[in-house]
A = this chain, B = another copy of it.
Amino acid sequence: MKYSFGIDVGGTNIKIGLFEITNFSLIEKKEVPTPRYNQAVSIFETSKKLMDELLKQHQLTYQDVHGVGFAVPCPVKNGYVVKCPNLKWETLDVISSMRSLLEPHVKVVVSNDANIAAYGENYSLEIPLQNAIFYTLGTGVGGGIIIEGKIVEGRTGAGGEIGHMPIFEGTEICGCGRTGCLEQVCGTKAILGYAKELSTVHESSIDFKELTVKKIFDAAKDNDPVGFRVLDRVAKYIALSASILSVSLDPDVIIIGGGIAKAGQILIDQILKHYRMYARFGTVDIPFVLAKTGNDAGIIGAAKYTI
């Protein structure tokens, strides 16, 4: 039996999973707060400590370990991170940083967290597909593109940054410095803002105190005029962006994940309604599915990426 670790490094927490990789099953996962200081060193030391603990608990040694995969919240190119504001990393060779703490036979891989999630989600389909587009809808809107079973990392690591495709004529500046981004109509902030805006002209059963995306989408399921319009706008822009990517890449599947996707099948159904109007040629039949692995997509994808 061989084992790999999947490590999902976020600005708040580090999640680690120990996986048996012959049948690919999760043995145990842990979560600790991300260290705050000297992060270019401490994140790897913390990861090593977690790995040591998990191996000891399961009476394993590094001889049983095939690899370690990292998911990190920034663009990655060939194992290098140029800048990661969330982890205060600058020009860091992630692979060498981890390898220096490990025995030489252990393989180390790293990619952007949304790309890794795309990889993990695609792997978690009943039959993993060769070509997949993954959306992660949350505070930020991101994604990952898998072509011929591989993550599209791109020239500078910006591959899969589909939340920042220009999709409408806007004037408000996005975090990326540009206007009209998909994230600006499909991210949490846009959803809450649009619901409040609509509440001034439509009746609604939504309690607007401590407004959440969940409240809005729950109301949409009950045909609330505000809730439904908000859900419909998100669905429309996901569908439009997906139709652009479909006619360019003609993928086998489009996977919708992230916190906002907890809305469930109603979101998929509404996306499909719009998508079928926008899609061209044979791309009209591309299946849309909800992501399955949820919060574990990062550790699953990262461990799988070592194989």
Q: Please measure, in the bound complex, the distance between the C-alpha atom of A158 and the C-alpha atom of B249, giving whole angstroms.
A: 7
Instruction: Check if B280 sits within 8 Å of A162, measured CB to CB.
Output: no
Closest Cβ of chain B to A148, distance in Å, is 7
Q: Give the shortest distance, in Å, between A287 (CB) and chain B (any CB).
A: 10
How far, in angstroms, from A168 to B247 measured CA to CA in the complex? 15
Any B CB within 8 A of the CB of A85: no
A240 part of interface (Cβ distance < 8 Å): yes
- A147 and B156 in contact (CB under 8 A), knowing A178-B278, A247-B164, A281-B161? no
Which of B156, B244, B250 interacts with A155 by CB under 8 Å?
A: B250
Contact B148 A282 (CB under 8 A): no
Q: Mark A179-190, 1 if CB is under 8 A from B, else 0.
A: 001000000000
Decide yes or no whether A106 CB sits under 8 A from chain B.
Answer: no
Instruction: Check if A81 is an interface residue, CB within 8 A of chain B.
Output: no
- CB neighbours (8 Å) of A280 from chain B are 158, 161, 164, 176-178, 181
Q: A154-B283, A162-B248, A178-B278 are in contact. List 5 more A-B contacts (CB 8 A).
A: A156-B250, A156-B282, A156-B283, A159-B250, A245-B248
